[in-house]
A and B are shown apart, each in its own frame.
Chain A
Amino acid sequence: MSGSSWTRVRAVARRHAFVLLRSPHRLFDVVLWPLVDVLLFGSLGVFVARQGSGGSIACGYLLSGIVLWHVVYQAQIALSTGFLEETWSRNLLNLMVTPLREVEYACGVALFGMVKLVMGVGVVALTALGFYAFNVGRLGVGLIPIIAVLLVVGWVIALFVIALVLRFGTGAEALAWGILFVVMPLSGVFYPVAALPGFLRPLATALPTTHAFAAGRSLIDGHGMQWGQLGLATGSTVVAGLAALAFLVLMLGTFRRRGFVTRYS
């Protein structure tokens, strides 16, 4: 990336920092919802644990699951709502007629998204520690590649959402939040996919998140890193990433060809 590209990336990141600073309701995504999630799943875990046999492991699954899920959630929400902010403020045309390239824009939003991710996941991890004495750090360095995969999966989902908004307009905005409610149960965030109805298992197995969470549960169980699961998660993330990029380029072409920018001007 050339110096001027880096300047443009920083300009976009700085713009989104101002958006967060001046929009207190945006803090819900990085502070309130993470806290509520830990409270919900942590308390559920404690309740199940008190019921007797095997319950204690459920608490670990629930809390590690929600901490790791927030990596996907924060990465996805930061990138997709960053783009949506440009549509809400009708700033798309302003940006499209500058030297800013699409990839620079995405990098700028993702860069500031990392700040939001650190905040959001930090709130989840600290709340789990403070409220339920669950230290996600005890899972060890094996967490790092799992988090890396989930981070990229979050971005991949955001690229799909952005592509759909480019094509279908504001009607597709709801997907920014709604799509995660579909991915979450299918990914076995809190349970092995064997717990899903049989007809959904093939779909669940195709998701990179399923394998990343399976690797995470193996760490919780004390069985060490399941490299096979991590490899499947990485491979399917690469495939999904390429598909998302291809879809985005296709939709961007449609957006320019059909003059959809006028929806936002």
Chain B
Amino acid sequence: MLDAHQLVKHFKGVRAVDGVDLVVRPGERVSLLGPNGAGKTTTLLMMLGAILPDSGWVRVAGHPLPKERSQAMGEVGFAAGYLPLPERLRVREFLHMFGQLYGVESLRDRIGTALERFGIAHLAGRLGTELSSGQRTLVGVVKATLHRPRLLVLDEPTASLDPDVARRVRAGLSELCDSEGTALLLTSHNMAEVERLCERVVFLSAGRVVADGRPASVASRFGRSDLEGVFLHLAEERPAGAQQTDRTA
């Protein structure tokens, strides 16, 4: 579904992403983890064609980037907790616009179903400025799932949500992935959420993949009881000392 090979990216002389390989198979749920500055968002944006890698290549659903970006993005849904909603659009209009960009048919019905899935049908007539940050995030997730993408890419989707809403998002995502076979690639700082939602985790540190496997397997490789322990370990470690890779899962 997603195939990224040896991605490298420098910013102002700093190697932000340093030879990242990542494959996400159809229906697979993968989390890209790592401390702040590890290169997660840059890696995601290269996989979405929004940033060009200095070297390496990306294929999405068999479409090479950037050459077939438009076709590739038709197979992908993206939402990020930090992206606002355009202020001058109502939720329904915002979703209608993106539905049209993705060529969704029976758009009105699809919007209704997607809003119901995440329990926010009552927000359809609200303007972006009238929503809380959590509600905006939810609408962003609905937008990302509207066209039934084969790959859903979410950058910190539950960062601004209270535990109850975050649980609803996880339930909605699980239901979507189970029913539609959607592959999931997400970043999160909530390790418990990742363990519940994803079958595989990829840890980045200083732009490199330092662990790749099932959550329990990765935790045990680092001698920790859970992913939070691995995360804290990597955050404290000097990058050069964190080059342990587990690709056995």
Query: What residues of chain A lie closer than 8 Å to B231, measured between beta carbons?
Result: none
Min C-beta distance of A24 to chain B, whole Å: 11
A11-B97 in contact (CB<8A): yes
A97-B52 in contact (CB<8A): no
User: Using a Cβ–Cβ cut-off of 8 Å, how many residues does chain A contribute to the interface with B?
Assistant: 32
Known: A14-B97, A97-B78, A265-B80. A22 touches B48 (CB 8 A): no
Mask, A79-119, CB within 8 Å of B = 1, is: 00000000001110111111111000000000000000000
User: Using a Cβ–Cβ cut-off of 8 Å, how many residues does chain B contribute to the interface with A?
Assistant: 36
B9-A259 in contact (CB<8A): yes
A262 to B153 Cα, complex, angstroms:
17
A99-B97 in contact (CB<8A): no
**Interface: B103 (CB within 8 A):** yes
Interface residue from B9, B51, B83, B88 paired with A94 (Cβ < 8 Å)? B83
**Interface: A50 (CB within 8 A):** no
A29 to B30 Cα, complex, angstroms:
48
Interchain residue pairs with CB less than 8 A apart (6): A7-B100, A8-B100, A97-B48, A99-B102, A257-B51, A261-B50
A97-B73 in contact (CB<8A): yes
Chain B residue nearest in CB terms to A258: B11
Query: What residues of chain B lie closer than 8 Å to A8, measured between beta carbons?
Result: 100-101, 103
Query: What residues of chain A lie closer than 8 Å to B217, measured between beta carbons?
Result: none
A97-B83 in contact (CB<8A): no
Interface residue from A19, A90, A100, A256 paired with B101 (Cβ < 8 Å)? A100
**Interface: B192 (CB within 8 A):** no
**Interface: B220 (CB within 8 A):** no
Query: What residues of chain B lie closer than 8 Å to A253, measured between beta carbons?
Result: 52
B73-A98 in contact (CB<8A): yes
A22-B88 in contact (CB<8A): yes
A262 to B52 Cα, complex, angstroms:
13
Chain A residue nearest in CB terms to B88: A22
Secondary structure of the A contact surface, majority rule = helix
Residues of B135-177 contacting chain A, CB below 8 A: 143, 153
A90-B84 in contact (CB<8A): yes
Which of B83, B84, B86, B93 has the most A CB atoms < 10 Å from its CB? B86
Known: A8-B101, A14-B97, A259-B42. A93 touches B70 (CB 8 A): no
Chain B residue nearest in CB terms to A100: B101
B50-A256 in contact (CB<8A): yes
B103-A4 in contact (CB<8A): yes
**Interface: B49 (CB within 8 A):** yes
Query: What residues of chain B lie closer than 8 Å to A90, measured between beta carbons?
Result: 83-84
A11-B48 in contact (CB<8A): no
Chain A residue nearest in CB terms to B155: A265
B88-A100 in contact (CB<8A): no
Chain B residue nearest in CB terms to A10: B100
Residues of B47-103 contacting chain A, CB below 8 A: 48-52, 66, 70-71, 73-74, 76, 78, 80, 82-84, 86-89, 93, 96-98, 100-103
Min C-beta distance of B157 to chain A, whole Å: 14
Mask, A201-232, CB within 8 Å of B = 1, is: 00000000000000000000000000000000
Chain B residue nearest in CB terms to A260: B51
Interface residue from B86, B102, B127 paired with A98 (Cβ < 8 Å)? B102
Instruction: Add 4 more A-B contacts to A99-B102, A261-B45 (CB < 8 A).
Output: A7-B100, A89-B84, A94-B98, A98-B98
Known: A8-B100, A100-B101. A256 touches B76 (CB 8 A): no
A99-B71 in contact (CB<8A): yes
Query: What residues of chain A lie closer than 8 Å to B78, measured between beta carbons?
Result: 94, 97
Interface residue from B42, B70, B93, B127 paired with A99 (Cβ < 8 Å)? B70
Chain B residue nearest in CB terms to A16: B88
B9-A97 in contact (CB<8A): no
**Interface: A23 (CB within 8 A):** yes
Known: A99-B103, A265-B80. A15 touches B71 (CB 8 A): no
A100 to B72 Cα, complex, angstroms:
11
A97-B100 in contact (CB<8A): no
